[in-house]
Amino acid sequence: MTKILLIAEHDGSALKPSTAKCVSCASQIAGAELHLVVFAADAGSVASEAASLDGVAKVITVENEANEHALAAVLAPQIVALASDYSHVFGPSTTFGKDLMPRVAALLGVNQLSEIMSVEGTHTFKRAIYAGNAVVTVEAPADAKVVATVRIASYKAAGSGNSASIESASVSADIPAHTRYIGLEAGASDRPDLLSAPKVVAGGRALGSTEGFDIIYALAEKLGAGVGASRAAVDAGYVPNEMQIGQTGKIIAPDLYIAIGISGAIQHLTGIKDAGTIVAINKDEEAPIFEVADIGLVADLFSVVPELTESL
């Protein structure tokens, strides 16, 4: 029987949007029973939120002081202790899941599928390789557990009208002391989360400086949008890495994506290919971004972006 264990991602008080998207992916596996597991110091509010997600049969909570912060070395052995009843173990393709799931897979003695973007069967999935230059269909062995991360940009969030049962579990696993959490320096953000924002405005190297990005922030604020950047802008030091969109940054799928001064290298395009509408503003009419844009405007960004912000 197909039973899926999905590792919930949360910040201690609320679920991250990535979890509801993984639920949608897992729900596409025919006949599967889906259990969500919440590792936390206090799982209370996260567990009730998890139980409301459509498609979840059961929520399992594993409460332990050591689980207050998500450290892969701490969580992986606990997941392995729970995994024996399951045919599949899934997590999100966020930095949380990318850090954790390969560790789980290796402990279980299996290879791991990274960033599945479509379910073709209980053991067959599609994923992107070479910066999205190709999509490969991968078949996992039928006689081994499937451990995978889900490309969250490929899925819409599951609904939340459910009331699954919540069960507390205690697991016996050796929790290592060799890895210790110190702290988190969160990026300045009252802005919408880049990974789940319905609208995203992003800037490239053409912005020229950290100050140059001010017009991007102003437009984003007017639109209520998240803010991203190309790798070139991150490399140049204009913005922090958590804003990077593309192969080596975040893969996103907003309803509206506005690329400003971004040329559109393949490594960037793979990060936005599932966006609803792509708008490109660039002064170079030959820029590859125009090949994928739904709406293109060839213009000097320093004049049209403030004008656009003003007009909205």
Partner 1 sequence: MDKILVGIKRVVDYNVRVRVKGDGSGMETDGVKMSINPFDEIALEEALRIKERGDAQEVIVLSVGSADAQQQLRTGLAMGADRAILVEADTAVDTLSVARVFKAIVDRESVDLVILGKQAIDGDNSQTGQMLAALWDRPQATFASDIKTDGNTLVVTREVDVGLEKIEIDLPAVITADLRLNEPRYVKLPDIMKAKKKPLDTIALAELEIAASPVLKEIAFEAPAERGKGIMVDDVAGLIAALKDKGLIQ
Q: Per-residue string for binding with partner 1, 220-249, x by CB under 8 A?
A: ---x-------x--xx----xxx-x--xx-
Tell me which residues in 152-171 interact with partner 1 (CB under 8 A): none
Does residue 207 contact residue 283 with C-beta atoms inside 8 Å? no
Nearer to partner 1, 162 or 306 (CB): 306
Does residue 9 contact residue 94 with C-beta atoms inside 8 Å? yes
Q: Which listed residue (57, 66, 81, 106) binds partner 1 by CB under 8 A?
A: 106
Q: Which listed residue (184, 190, 211, 286) binds partner 1 by CB under 8 A?
A: 184
Q: Provide the 3-class DSSP secondary structure of residue 23.
A: helix
Nearer to partner 1, 61 or 247 (CB): 247
Residue 1 contacts partner 1 per CB under 8 A: no
CB burial readout 22-56, b (16+ within 10 A) else e: bbbbbbebeebbbbbbbbbeebeebbebbbbbebb
Nearer to partner 1, 52 or 93 (CB): 93
Q: Which listed residue (40, 60, 113, 301) binds partner 1 by CB under 8 A?
A: 113
Nearer to partner 1, 133 or 209 (CB): 133
Choose the binding region for partner 1 from 23-31, 32-40, 131-139, 159-167 (rule: CB under 8 A).
131-139
Does residue 9 contact residue 15 with C-beta atoms inside 8 Å? yes
Nearer to partner 1, 18 or 52 (CB): 18
Tell me which residues in 43-72 interact with partner 1 (CB under 8 A): 71-72
Q: Which listed residue (57, 73, 81, 236) binds partner 1 by CB under 8 A?
A: 73
Does residue 204 contact residue 267 with C-beta atoms inside 8 Å? no
What is the C-alpha to C-alpha distance for residues 45 and 289, in angstroms, rounded to an integer?
Answer: 42
Q: What sign does the dihedral 245-248-249-251 (CA atoms) show?
A: positive
Q: By C-alpha distance, which of 105, 101, 143 is closest to 122? A: 143
Q: Which listed residue (55, 91, 102, 228) binds partner 1 by CB under 8 A?
A: 102
Tell me which residues in 12-41 interact with partner 1 (CB under 8 A): none
Minimum CB separation of residue 35 from partner 1 in Å reads: 23
Does residue 254 contact residue 192 with C-beta atoms inside 8 Å? no
Q: Which listed residue (2, 212, 298, 302) binds partner 1 by CB under 8 A?
A: 298
What is the C-alpha to C-alpha distance for residues 204 and 64, in angstroms, rounded to an integer?
Answer: 43
Choose the binding region for partner 1 from 30-38, 55-63, 203-211, 303-311 (rule: CB under 8 A).
303-311
Minimum CB separation of residue 161 from partner 1 in Å reads: 26
Tokens 């799928």 -> residue: 253
What is the C-alpha to C-alpha distance for residues 102 and 88, in angstroms, rounded to an integer?
Answer: 14
